[in-house]
Amino acid sequence: MGPDVDVDLTELSSTMVYAEVYNMVFEPADYVGKTIKMEGMYTRYEDTAGNAWNSCLIMDATACCSQGLEFELTDEYTYPDDYPEEGDDITVTGTFDTYTEDGYEFVTIRDAKLLG
């Protein structure tokens, strides 16, 4: 792991990274405030109200299942110019956090930056 990264998912085997992401989603309090580095496939979801969510899909060892982590890029990125294409391989780093929406807790990577 680099000196500025607390959890480097890029250094784990595909089995371990899937397990670690599972833990992040189901035990988020253990990760809040930690710097996360991850790589996977870029996806974007937009609802009919114009809200958008960006995520990094991380596959398991057999590439049959995936876990996604939402991320919010810093204000220095402008959509769509500075964003990857849907399905592109990406590497993202940022700070793990949670938020509540409609009574449900969600996880996100805040102040994220695209690497490479």
Q: How far is 74 from 58, CA to CA, in rounded Å?
A: 21
Mean pLDDT of the chain: 92
Domain count for the chain: 1
Q: Is residue 16 part of a domain?
A: yes
Query: At residue 2, does pLDDT exceed 60?
Result: no
Q: Is residue 56 part of a domain?
A: yes
Q: What CATH code is carried by the domain that includes residue 21?
A: 2.40.50
Give the pLDDT score at 15: 81
Domain that holds residue 87: 7-114
Q: Is residue 1 part of a domain?
A: no
Give the pLDDT score at 58: 87
Give the pLDDT score at 19: 86
Give the pLDDT score at 3: 58
The Cα-based distances of 54 to 1, 30, 32, 65 in angstroms read 24, 23, 19, 19
Q: Is residue 2 part of a domain?
A: no
Q: How far is 99 from 6, CA to CA, in rounded Å?
A: 20
Q: How far is 45 from 43, CA to CA, in rounded Å?
A: 7
What would the mean pLDDT of 77-90 be, rounded to a whole number? 96
Would you say the C-alpha torsion 15, 90, 105, 49 has a positive or negative sign?
negative
Confidence band, pLDDT 50/70/90 cuts, at residue 31: very high
pLDDT tens across 44-62, in order? 999 999 999 999 998 776 6
Q: How far is 58 from 69, CA to CA, in rounded Å?
A: 8
**What is the percent of the chain where pLDDT is above 90?**
78
